[in-house]
Chain A
């Protein structure tokens, strides 16, 4: 079974540009979460999508947005890039995304997209 895939793996952009990152979840998984990883702030939750709807959102400005398609693939977009947006962006998928009474719905991570903003 194929794992979570993310494209592209590396991106270099300049300040003010926008960028779109793509994530394909494990087949059958309907929940996709996005995280930003930086040396200073560590791993921070961006948002989560389930059945094409954003269910949960972290504390990031509106420049960060996302969407999910009917096949559960997800994209995230960052507009008006800033130097501080340089980071590894990780996508994770799970069956339902909800930590429930029977235990958590385990998240499986992709390799990430390394974004560098110059």
Chain B
């Protein structure tokens, strides 16, 4: 079945370090891909999305490129801040699906000052 695999966490970085969180997916057809972020005690917030191959989603300094040839959607940020500490979820949505996002397990990021 369809699935999303994320790198295991937790990830601990120093402020201003470069961030990469790996995400790969298994799905038939052409899914849309998302990164959501969850801050402590809160729900999920959409961080960025991409709907077709080679699309790059970006928001708040975060970027991810939809790579169909490697079935990947890795999240990157050039310089992380303490405020980026959160859990990051990669997800996919199949075309024609109704309200069903398939999520990875999540990667906890801690950024130290």
Contact = CB atoms under 8 A, between A and B. Distances in A.
A binds B: yes
Interface of A: 4, 6, 31-33, 35, 42-43, 45, 47-50, 55-56, 58, 90, 92, 94, 97-101, 103-104, 106-112
27 contacts: A6-B43, A31-B98, A33-B99, A33-B101, A35-B101, A42-B103, A43-B89, A43-B101, A43-B106, A45-B99, A45-B102, A48-B98, A48-B99, A48-B100, A49-B99, A50-B99, A55-B99, A56-B97, A90-B43, A99-B95, A99-B97, A104-B51, A108-B46, A109-B43, A111-B42, A112-B42, A112-B43
Given A109-B43, A109-B45, A103 B32 contact: yes
A47 B101 CA distance: 11
B98 A45 contact: no
Interface in B85-104: 89, 93-104
Given A104-B51, A107-B101, A99 B44 contact: no
Contacts, number: 79
A95 to B, nearest CB: 11
Contacts of A108: 46
- Interface of chain A, main secondary structure: strand
A97 B99 contact: yes
A55 B99 CA distance: 9
